């Protein structure tokens, strides 16, 4: 966990051992609980649009990344509002921009991603003002069938409502993503055709995967 974003003293449990660093999820939970105790009924954590501390935003995003890397789709979705808007620049059937609205649609997208690739992400930087946050991440994708691995970086722009994400825009290296899926196609065709390598065709399983899930994360 990121030590530089230690929980404030009032969010620590006095029974915890010396040197203990609570997880991001733990920090977020304690933060919300402390505000509710101090001002019960004053805040709507799902829809509030007032400025929140960058350390709190960081904890929320770290918790989401922990959940994603551990394969917990529900843990990720817990950090979003129900009527979210999610945009990725390489997610469409032919690599074009894809827009997803609503938590249920994003759930289907994320479940499909985890069926196809094993993915790990790491936040490199976070900066923000008010409720708009910009992040840079490193992602490692492993295609489950072919075993091919892609390491890439991406940028995100996120708008928060309270302690949850209302809008998210992902910006991938589209050319690198397309090259990865072409390599997956060639690899799968070699496995299926041991005598000679067959160029990836539009009917291959990798091509169908790419059209249904171009970005993979």
Q: What is the pLDDT of residues 110-162, one digit of tens each?
A: 999 899 999 999 999 999 877 799 999 999 999 999 999 999 999 999 999 98
pLDDT above 90 (res 207): no
**Pure H helices in 70-102:** 73-77
Burial of 209 (0-12, 13-18, 19+ CB in 10 A): buried
For residue 92, name the pLDDT band (cuts at 50, 70, 90). confident
Predicted confidence at residue 191, as pLDDT, reads 56
When pLDDT is cut at 50, 70 and 90, the band that residue 187 belongs to is confident
pLDDT at 198 over 80: no
| 28 close to 56: Cβ distance less than 8 angstroms | yes
* pLDDT the model gives residue 91: 77
pLDDT: which is higher, 86 or 18? 86
pLDDT at 209 over 90: no
Please give the model's pTM, rounded to 2 decimal places: 0.66
Tell me the DSSP string of 140-203. Answer: EEEETTT--EEEEEEEEEEEEETTEEEEEEEE--HHHHHHHHHHHHHHHHHHH-SSSPPPP-TT
Question: Higher pLDDT residue, 209 or 183?
Answer: 183
| Mean predicted lDDT score pLDDT of the chain | 75
Name the phi and psi angles at 40, rounded to 5.
-60, 135
């Amino acid at each position: 966990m990121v030590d530089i974003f230690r929980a404030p003293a009032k969010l620590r449990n006095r029974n915890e051992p010396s040197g203990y660093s609570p997880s991001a999820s733990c920090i977020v939970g304690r933060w919300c609980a402390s505000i509710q105790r101090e001002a019960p009924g004053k805040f709507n954590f799902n829809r509030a649009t007032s400025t929140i501390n960058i350390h709190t935003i960081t904890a929320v995003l770290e918790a989401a990344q922990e959940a994603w890397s551990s394969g917990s789709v529900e843990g990720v979705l817990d950090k979003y509002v129900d009527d979210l808007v999610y945009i990725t620049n390489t997610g469409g059937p032919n690599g074009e921009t894809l827009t997803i609205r609503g938590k249920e649609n994003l759930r289907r997208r994320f479940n499909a991603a985890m069926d196809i690739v094993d993915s790990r992400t790491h936040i490199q930087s976070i900066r923000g003002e008010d409720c708009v946050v910009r992040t840079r991440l490193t992602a490692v994708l492993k295609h489950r069938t072919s075993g091919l691995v892609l390491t890439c970086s991406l940028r995100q722009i996120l708008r928060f409502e309270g302690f949850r994400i209302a809008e998210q825009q992902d910006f991938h290296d589209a050319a690198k993503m397309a090259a990865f899926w072409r390599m997956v196609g060639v690899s799968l065709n070699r496995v299926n055709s041991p005598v000679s390598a067959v160029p990836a065709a539009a009917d291959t399983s990798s091509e169908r995967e790419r059209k249904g899930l171009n970005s993979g994360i």
